[in-house]
Amino acid sequence: MKILLNNKEFHFSEADLPLLIHGAHKAGASLFSVTVAVQMFLIGKKLLFFTAYPMAREEFMAQIAGSGKEKDVFYLEREGDIAKASEFCAVIVKSGDSELCLKAFRELSGIKDRVVLVKNIESVLTGALFSAVKGHDKLILSGDLDGVSFAGEITPLGFRSKVFFSKPAVDTGISVPDLEKYVGFMSGRENGLITLNKS
């Protein structure tokens, strides 16, 4: 899966983090978020990956298939395995378990070096988890801002990059143009229309 910005291949890096990705349901933000995480993982960045639903984990594994890095992914289902999980490049937290994700964020060794993706923020981003991760330099928050009761606390954070797959009701300080389905608008080190290409 390739990311195209203004019809040219684009690769996200740590220089683009922290990153905010907003999209209403079925607008394209979900697959895009997983693809950004895959890009980071394939260039050697460590990940803490947390989503509401297992389909995102399945998509992540499908996109890294054949890379030779499949065995460097740990599926974290219980607190007792956090120390073991620290040895793996990608730690995928049990879908929907915000408390386990919070514990993993606090207890994983080397967390400062990990890209932390919290996807489906409208479902899984609790106040406690937000308080813990909001100052993380390598943060990716993704989901529907309009479904988060404290969205007004998210948007003022110093995101280097923001990608919108729909116009949020909450003020983000960005003028988002009208967008076709599965087309996003990026504001960051480069600006423009952003899409996914499966070829």
**Number of domains composing the chain:** 1
Would you state the pLDDT for residue 198? Answer: 84
Would you state the pLDDT for residue 161? Answer: 97
**Model confidence band, residue 199 (pLDDT cutoffs 50, 70, 90):** low
Provide the mean pLDDT of the chain: 95
State if pTM tops 0.85.
yes
CATH of the domain at 115: 3.40.50.300
Question: Whole-angstrom Cα distance, residue 71 to residue 106?
Answer: 24
Asked whether the beta carbons of 94 and 76 are under 8 A apart, the reply is: yes
**Model confidence band, residue 13 (pLDDT cutoffs 50, 70, 90):** very high
Question: Whole-angstrom Cα distance, residue 73 to residue 47?
Answer: 9
Average pLDDT, stretch 141-148? 96
Buried b (16+ CB within 10 A) or exposed e, 148-187: beebeebbeeebebbbbbbbbeeebebebeebeeebbbbb
Domain that holds residue 33: 2-197
